[in-house]
Chains A and B, each alone.
Chain A
């Protein structure tokens, strides 16, 4: 598995980061469109920010390792394997489910409501990550298949470390794509983490013509 072709994200050049940012931009654009269609209202989206951070500083983006977040994790297999994590802080997760679900749900039993909210979030994670994957797939000509999403409500640190673990390896740096969505004056801060294996990152960069 180890060879000299592996690229650690901290070694990426400005040009390579720009290429990944372009993918993120198109992916997030697709996601916002899908979002608008589901909600039947206009959803705006910020230009994604792509950055490289030391792994142990990543939880700070989400308010620290103890902060309660919703994390939706999708595994990607195919020509370039890896993971995509869509993370929302508690407040944003609540806003998102409220936007998507009818008030009527409040009358249902608490347990059932929770189940519906969870599957709503999973579904949103599914749509957003698929939009991102589609963009990546089109730009690289790679076949990329997502798994069924898995959702966890827990501490940011606990969710992030699992997302960033690869088979027998974990890098010291993370590639972070951040996007914010909003609908009128209600904003939902969503954080996207694209976590390719080091081998996949190389393949993707090569296919984008920036290796």
Chain B
């Protein structure tokens, strides 16, 4: 068993009894994709909905659209089959309350929305989600049984 850390704007793939962990998701969204047959799974920690097309040297793992594409490639390379993949997502919170909250501050909701749209387009079934609200989350993705443990500083752990 390996514990594999996924930092912000990063992604990673594991298999069998590995545990993929990403800590401190605020407005960011963690995306766990899993192939139940081969027990291969991947986790991405995205920060923004869409990659800008006019910026060079971008880190693809930072944006929902490019990160999911990259994660799908890496999963297929690790012998997962795209048509068997299922998804669980968490994060997309609004951490700070400002009086006149503008769209910038609601980036969490936009991130979650973008991720769901892409999953739908890719025909990947979303099995469970824990998104929104106003607190940070840590995701522990157990590849032996596709359980995703959500930890927060506000309450009890949750299992997706």
For residue B107, CB closer than 8 A to chain A, the reply is yes
User: In the complex, which residues of chain A have a beta carbon less than 8 angstroms from the beta carbon of B42?
Assistant: none
Count residues of B near A (Cβ-Cβ below 8 Å). 34
Contact call A162/B26, Cβ cutoff below 8 A: yes
Contact call A59/B24, Cβ cutoff below 8 A: yes
Contact call A155/B136, Cβ cutoff below 8 A: yes
Main secondary structure of the interface of B (DSSP, over half): loop
For residue A148, CB closer than 8 A to chain B, the reply is yes
For residue A13, CB closer than 8 A to chain B, the reply is no
B109 to chain A minimum Cβ distance, whole angstroms, is: 13
B124 to chain A minimum Cβ distance, whole angstroms, is: 25
A38-64 residues at the B interface, CB under 8 angstroms: 55-56, 59, 64
Instruction: Flag the segment in A28-36, A100-108, A167-175, A199-207 that touches B.
Output: A167-175
Contact call B26/A159, Cβ cutoff below 8 A: yes
Contact call A159/B136, Cβ cutoff below 8 A: yes
A74 to chain B minimum Cβ distance, whole angstroms, is: 10
CB-CB nearest in chain A for B96: A150
For residue B12, CB closer than 8 A to chain A, the reply is no
In the docked arrangement, what's the CA distance between A161 and B48, Å?
Answer: 11
CB-CB nearest in chain A for B154: A154
Main secondary structure of the interface of A (DSSP, over half): mixed
User: In the complex, which residues of chain B have a beta carbon less than 8 angstroms from the beta carbon of A169?
Assistant: 48, 52, 55
B115 to chain A minimum Cβ distance, whole angstroms, is: 15
Contact call B97/A150, Cβ cutoff below 8 A: yes
In the docked arrangement, what's the CA distance between A172 and B9, Å?
Answer: 9
Q: A55 with B9: in contact, given A158-B25, A158-B95 (CB under 8 Å)?
A: yes
Contact call A154/B97, Cβ cutoff below 8 A: no
For residue B86, CB closer than 8 A to chain A, the reply is no
Q: A165 with B8: in contact, given A154-B153, A155-B24, A157-B24 (CB under 8 Å)?
A: no
User: In the complex, which residues of chain B have a beta carbon less than 8 angstroms from the beta carbon of A156?
Assistant: 24
A200 to chain B minimum Cβ distance, whole angstroms, is: 15
**Footprint of A on B, CB under 8 Å?**
7-10, 23-28, 47-48, 52, 54-55, 59, 62, 93, 95-99, 104, 107, 134-138, 151-154
**Footprint of B on A, CB under 8 Å?**
2, 55-56, 59, 64-66, 68, 71, 73, 75, 147-148, 150-162, 165-170, 172
Q: Closest 9 CB pairs between A and B?
A: A157-B24, A158-B136, A158-B26, A65-B24, A155-B136, A65-B23, A150-B96, A155-B24, A56-B7
